[in-house]
Amino acid sequence: MNDFFTLATDNAITHLQLNRPERLNTLTPAFFPALRDAVRSLHDSGDARVLVISSTGKHFCAGMALDVFASDDALLVTTTARARLSFQESLRKLIDCFTALDEARFPVICAIQGGCIGGGLDLATACDIRVCSADAFFTVQEIHIGMMADLGVLQRLAKIVPPGIAREMAYTGDRINAERALAIGLVNAVLPDADAALAYAMALAQTIAAKSPLAIAGSKLALNHARDHGTAASLAQMTLLQSAIFDTDEMAVAITAWKTKQAAAFDALAPVATV
């Protein structure tokens, strides 16, 4: 375990909860590999069918801890060509830690309360589905401290909300409240408070976890490919993907469960070999 979040799995639903409320769940460099390793371990094991990410305290996440930028860490130095090359590699590794959520074989649902700020929004936009409490707000905070957001939100946000809204958020850093977040499609639902948001996310996770994990994983692969490619290329990918995972035995289990209105007993995904 680590100092940043707790992790628990029950009935194939894993709950990852940020756990530094006294620091507004701000992020430090050590958080990123801890998150990446946890998510990729779940990906490799095949045990998790859904991941729910939530938080504790007043705010979901206040972004990167400001003292990180004030430090004299050599990784933040960009005064020479060698330093800039090193900086690029370090940034790629940080970006990859949130990409692990996007690439996971299972859906990721994010339950947000209070502020979803800076790096917190980078994290949230790497998830499949977002729900929030009525007091939630969202902001691309980086523009206020003289830098562009660089951990994925600029690349993902405009594929979640209308491009003009994404640009407004990126250029102004203005707060988007829960009501507007729902209207623009940034979140799927607004609930009265943090407990209700988490309960909604867990109920949604249970619905998803009851479906064939093979079909869910395939659907996520197809949706992600369609998001990043044109229609023709995505349809070509679909023919290959469906031929790879089409399983009439799996379908028979699902159809029987659907007809009898009983829970289906699907096998977990096969584990991924580690190298």
For the chain, domain boundaries: 5-209, 213-260
Q: What pTM was computed for the model?
A: 0.95
- CATH superfamily, with its number, for domain 5-209: 2-enoyl-CoA Hydratase; Chain A, domain 1 (3.90.226.10)
What pLDDT was estimated at residue 67? 79
Provide the percentage of residues in the chain whose pLDDT is more than 70: 97
At 161, phi and psi to the nearest 5? -115, 165
User: With bands split at pLDDT 50, 70 and 90, how would you rate the model's confidence at 127?
Assistant: very high
Does the structure show a pLDDT above 70 at 99? yes
* Euclidean distance between CA atoms 261 and 3, whole angstroms: 42
Give residue 105's Cα distance to chain centre. Answer: 12
What pLDDT score does 218 carry?
98
Q: What is the dihedral of CA 120, 123, 124, 126, to 10 degrees?
A: 160
